[in-house]
Amino acid sequence: MTARKVHVTPGGLTALQAKIGIVIASFFLLLGLVFGVVVGLENTSSSEGGLMILQGVFLLIWVVACLSIIVFYARLLSKRTPEQNSLLDVHLENTVDAAPNTGDFESRLRKLERLKQDGLITEPEYVAKREKILQEKW
């Protein structure tokens, strides 16, 4: 008897998702640079040097974070293979089951009888399964 085993594992990001990530990170990089320039030009008239340093550090962290995200997604895209384009990886495996335990007819028949008595199987199902068990090699 042949059975199928299905193994489902999480996949990675798809190529489309990586491209979208690059676009979004690029947009935020551009937005941060424009914001930094506008705020920097606005504060050049003020004499508070501490605020300018704080804004510069924030802008530097912003740029480094956006560039890191862009590099991450670009590397992910460069290492992709065509079969790595899904959120789930599904692996089907055909297995051949061993023959049923032929030396344990009594326990199998008793179990079948209990199923019938408990009303879990119908009379025709019981008869068919019993015949199948009895036809197996003793």
* 59-92 pLDDT per residue, tens: 999 999 999 999 999 998 888 665 566 666 777 7
Residue 66's pLDDT is what?
96
What gap in Å lies between CA 19 and CA 80, rounded to an integer? 12
Residue 100, pLDDT > 60, answer: no
Q: Which two tokens stand for residue 1?
A: 């008897």
* pLDDT tens column, 2-38: 567 777 777 777 888 889 999 999 999 999 999 988 8
What gap in Å lies between CA 130 and CA 127, rounded to an integer? 5
Q: Which two tokens stand for residue 66?
A: 């956006």
Phi-psi region of 119 (alpha: psi -120 to 50; beta: other; left: phi over 0): left
- Helix (H) or strand (E) segment spanning residue 69: helix 49-78
Residue range 52-59: mean pLDDT, rounded:
88
Q: Single out the residue of 99, 100, 88, 98 nearest to residue 6, CA to CA.
A: 88
0.85 exceeded by the pTM? no
